[in-house]
Amino acid sequence: MPIDTRAIARILHLMLNQPTCYLAPNAAARLKSHREYGVYAIAPIVRDELIAMFGGEVVTQETFETLNERLRRLSLQIQENLFLVALNEGPADYVNHSCEPNSGLLGQIELVALRDISVGEEITFDYAMSDGSDYDEFECECGAPNCRKRVTGRDWRIPELWKKYAGHFSPYLERRIEKLKREQAS
Ligand SMILES: C[S@@+](CC[C@H](N)C(=O)[O-])C[C@H]1O[C@@H](n2cnc3c(N)ncnc32)[C@H](O)[C@@H]1O
Ligand SMILES: [Zn+2]
């Protein structure tokens, strides 16, 4: 069989250049401070609309802990022992946290609008929806009146968030929350 060099070149080009994530055309990343990026609505977004799809290499916690800080802060925990690492980072990887977010997870990797979002608004989600360990903890600067001040890998345990984000926690955290509820009830 002849070697299809054009197909191989196309695959290599995608592997090297294509971001591992997807960002909808009505959102874009831009600098929000001298070194921090954020993602903003550049056209109206309606409630439940898909905003982003996170992607990357799936690695175990053991491998994850060997990675540099930059890669780890752009990663997403998707299971008890698994992380999605953006080797080819792209605009969707720059969605920041807010304690009063306008978007939320659907499953492990989809980000959907929790309400209608106007042009110019920053797209944010609450990292409590995805993070179940301490790989990305920081002092929060979201500025919301209900800001928790510090974002930690234990925030998924806050009961008020269970109701607020029902259906928008990563599935592995949904399972943890159900277990915690059963333990608290018995
Ligand atoms: C997935 S990155 C988000 C994109 C990041 N702003 C950038 O330019 O690379 C996650 C990191 O962004 C920063 N970050 C996200 N939300 C934040 C917030 N509400 N307050 C302060 N820092 C935040 C933290 O340093 C966190 O580790
Ligand atoms: Zn906050």
Q: What does the pLDDT look like over 126-178, one tens digit per residue?
A: 999 999 999 999 999 999 999 999 999 999 999 999 999 999 999 999 999 99
Query: Could you tell me the pLDDT band of residue 55, with boundaries at 50, 70 and 90?
Result: very high
> Does residue 3 belong to any structural domain of this protein?
no
* Atom of ligand 1 lying closest to residue 97 CA: 16
Find out whether the beta carbon of 144 lies less than 6 Å from any atom of ligand 1. no
Is 45 part of any domain?
yes
**DSSP tally for the chain: helices H, then strands E:** 5, 13
What whole-number distance in Å separates Cα of residue 149 and Cα of residue 105? 21
Predicted local distance difference test score (pLDDT) of residue 25? 98
Judged against a pLDDT cut of 80, whether residue 44 lies above it is answered with yes
Identify the pLDDT of residue 163.
96
Which residue minimizes the CA distance to atom 26 of ligand 1?
73
Q: What's the whole-number average pLDDT of the chain?
A: 96
Tally of CB atoms within 10 A around 40 = 17
Domain containing residue 27: CATH number: 2.170.270.10
Asked if residue 9 belongs to a domain, the reply is no
Residue closest by Cα to atom 24 of ligand 1:
138
In angstroms, the CA 62 to CA 161 distance is 29
Domain that holds residue 43: 18-185
Phi, psi dihedral angles at 57 (to 5 degrees): -85, 135
Is the residue at 6 inside a domain? no
Of the chain, the percentage scoring pLDDT greater than 70 comes to: 100
Distance 93 CA to ligand 1 centre (A): 10
Tally the domains of the chain.
1
Q: Which tokens go with 95?
A: 């969605």
Is residue 144 situated within a structural domain? yes
Which ligand does the CA of 54 lie closest to? 1
pLDDT at 72: 95
Residue 108 Cα to ligand 1 midpoint, Å, equals 19
Q: Is residue 75 part of a domain?
A: yes
Is the minimum distance from the CB of 137 to ligand 1 under 6 angstroms? no
Q: Whose CA is nearest to atom 11 of ligand 1?
A: 73
pLDDT band at 18 (very low <50, low <70, confident <90, very high): confident
Integer-rounded Cα Rg, in Å, for the chain is 18
Tens-place pLDDT, residues 98-113: 999 999 999 999 999 9
Q: How far apart are CA 37 and CA 19, in angstroms?
A: 16
Q: Does position 34 have pLDDT exceeding 90, yes or no?
A: no
- Pocket probe for ligand 1: among 95, 138, 141, the residue whose CB has the most ligand atoms within 8 Å is 138
**pTM, full prediction:** 0.94
CA of residue 50 to ligand 1 center, whole Å:
21
> Has residue 109 been placed in a domain?
yes
pLDDT confidence of residue 24:
98
Does residue 5 form part of some domain? no
